Chain A
Amino acid sequence: MKRHAVLWSLIVLAVAMLAPFVIVVLNALKTPAQYASDGPLALPTDITFQGLADFWNRVDFGQKLFNSLVISGSVAVLAVVVSVLNAYALGIGRIRGRLWILIAFLVANTLPQEAMVYPLYFLAKETGLYDTQLSVIIIFTIIQAAFGTYLLTSTYAEFPHELIEAARIDGANKWQVLVRIVVPVSRPTLGVLFVFSFIWTWNEFFLPLVLLISNDTQTVPVALGVLQGQRLMDATMTSASALLGVIPAIVFFLIFQRTLTRGITAGAVK
């Protein structure tokens, strides 16, 4: 049964992808004493959540989750908006020099983050945005929008022109064409962009580490960094809090899977 063979091989793949997560979960539930005596790969014998509760209070994890949510959510929305605007001009408007403009946008993705740190620190300080979340939001909006611009420009370049022509003939202007035709039709790609921007920003560590100094502005990955000491680390705590930090990203992904799922059904039913 060929299709069952396909199903089983995909299940094996899924298990392989999940195996490391299972190990993280095992260590998240262990007590540090058992981790010390049995090592990281043993099954937990006594499940404990006390350590997790302690850590939550220690770094005010609730606040960090909120901060991460505000930053990642804002970036996701803004990055999609900026990408759509850019891609509309480049992919559908097909303005002159669009290749070079696209390359200019992609500089945002090619420049290594460590090279941006000192200049961005300086600019943030000069504009009074140092140690604010707004600085991080602005920066990541353009970084994620660079990818988004490239992805959407590539898909918009093959956008069915008949739909646009039809709307123009009906008297729609450029803005109306964008909002009424282009955006709805490209919704699956926009959904993907939204999810990616959210998750990538959520997991960003380095620039928030540098730009968010006070504890009440920090995000989840920066808070997790507290557990990595100079010479010692807290493995069970890191596993537990990493899971806590990952849950919102997973929830986000699952919610947006529904937009993508609708497409799969459409494909099946024609």
Chain B
Amino acid sequence: MITRTIRERGSYLLFLIPGALLLIAVVLVPFLMNVGISFTRWQGVGDPQWTGLDNYTRLFGDSTFWSSFRHNLALVVAMAILPTAAGLVIAAALFDVIGKRFGPRAASVLRACVYLPQVLPVAVAGIVWSWILAPRGALNEFLGLVGLGSLGQNWLGDPDVALWSVMGVLLWIQLGYPVVIFMAGLQRADPSLHEAAELDGASWWGRFWHVTVPQIRPEVFVVLLTCTIAALKVFGPIYVLTRGGPGGATNVPSYFSFQNFFEKTQVGYGAAIATVLTVLILVLTAVFLKVQNRGERA
């Protein structure tokens, strides 16, 4: 049995060929070119000038870059941890409670509503949220209406509050993604285990934690990792909401990199930032995948 599987493994490689070709041409070659650019000084047009490790030396001493990572950590909470946790609960609620007691139609409608923010282009979402979060915008007006006027803030203009506001918007955008993936995963799950637990008298929460979640373990890992990567790379919402402000309070490495690439036309430096960011994320990914792997069947 074992020898048969080892001999077979070689031919599985054939299935990887289309993906591998695309990967090399579209991703790996550009990545290497990017690394090459990071050793030069270039303005995006004309000839690059070789400068060796200058960009990297500068980057490691650049406090803007490293302090912007702190903001990223907050965004990881908003874009990965909170959506995954909330997504699990919502998906389970929609699947188990709503789907079963109120019909699949109700569950579908609610799921579509939760997913809708993912469909809206980030640029438009940014405009709408800046209307809502404006000093005399919808949120402050609403708070005033329900008597909570004193909680009103300058959501995007106060450096102490701006990062929280951005986190809120990111949560709004991200929530639909885990919910849809988890609900698809729940369909793979074996309902008999659930019924058995119910018959055993387990509470909904107990069933959720000990039966539901382990069954969609692969999806949970995938969502956590991809959301974390997305959080570390987040650019669009920052660009449209605050442009890294006010006064740099919401700056993130990816926005800093973009500024160097396109606004300051310091492409070599931008390439160095992107390379360091990518390597950091890849290291994180490798660690994460090892952990995920350990739980799988050998």
Query: Per the CB under 8 Å rule, do A and B touch in the complex?
Result: yes
The SS class assigned to the A binding surface is helix
Does the CB pair B9–A261 fall under 8 Å?
A: no
Does the CB pair B296–A267 fall under 8 Å?
A: no
B54: interface (CB < 8 Å) = no
Query: Least Cβ distance of B222 to chain A in Å?
Result: 5
Does the CB pair A122–B19 fall under 8 Å?
A: no
Instruction: Annotate A1-31 by CB proximity to B: 1 below 8 A, 0 otherwise.
Output: 0010011001101111111110110000000
Does the CB pair A111–B34 fall under 8 Å?
A: yes
Does the CB pair B27–A142 fall under 8 Å?
A: yes
B147: interface (CB < 8 Å) = no
A183: interface (CB < 8 Å) = no
Contact of A267 among B90, B191, B262 (CB under 8 A): B191
Query: Least Cβ distance of A23 to chain B in Å?
Result: 5
Does the CB pair B226–A99 fall under 8 Å?
A: no
Does the CB pair B123–A95 fall under 8 Å?
A: no
* B contact residues around A120 at 8 Å (CB): 26, 30
Chosen A-B contacts, 25 in total, with CB atoms closer than 8 Å, are A13-B110, A14-B113, A20-B117, A20-B128, A89-B12, A89-B14, A99-B293, A109-B229, A112-B235, A119-B30, A120-B26, A123-B30, A142-B23, A150-B225, A154-B222, A155-B218, A158-B297, A174-B11, A188-B187, A191-B184, A203-B121, A221-B121, A239-B124, A246-B121, A250-B116
* A contact residues around B186 at 8 Å (CB): 263, 267
B73: interface (CB < 8 Å) = no
For window 239-298 of chain B, which residues contact chain A by CB distance below 8 Å?
A: 254, 257-258, 261-262, 267, 270-271, 274-275, 277-278, 281-282, 285-286, 289-290, 292-293, 296-297
Q: A86-B15, A203-B119 are in contact. List 5 more A-B contacts (CB 8 A).
A: A41-B131, A109-B229, A138-B22, A253-B119, A263-B187
- Segment at the A interface, from B62-70, B75-83, B95-103, B155-163: B95-103
A40: interface (CB < 8 Å) = yes
Does the CB pair B121–A149 fall under 8 Å?
A: no
Knowing A106-B285, A116-B34, A188-B188 touch, does A149 contact B104 (C-beta < 8 A)?
no
Nearest CB in chain B to that of A6: its residue: B97
Query: Least Cβ distance of A211 to chain B in Å?
Result: 12
Query: Least Cβ distance of B27 to chain A in Å?
Result: 4
* B contact residues around A15 at 8 Å (CB): 113
* A contact residues around B102 at 8 Å (CB): 3, 7
User: Which of A's residues lie within 8 Å of B, judged by CB?
Assistant: 3, 6-7, 10-11, 13-21, 23-24, 40-41, 81-83, 85-86, 88-90, 92-96, 99, 101-120, 122-123, 138-139, 141-143, 145-147, 149-151, 154-155, 157-158, 174, 178, 188-189, 191-192, 195-196, 199, 203, 205, 221, 224-225, 228, 233, 235, 238-239, 242, 245-246, 249-250, 253-254, 257, 260-261, 263-268, 270
Query: Least Cβ distance of A258 to chain B in Å?
Result: 8
Knowing A86-B19, A145-B19 touch, does A154 contact B292 (C-beta < 8 A)?
yes
9 nearest A-B residue pairs (beta carbon): A93-B12, A263-B187, A115-B274, A119-B30, A14-B113, A154-B218, A119-B33, A242-B124, A89-B15
Does the CB pair B26–A108 fall under 8 Å?
A: yes
B53: interface (CB < 8 Å) = no
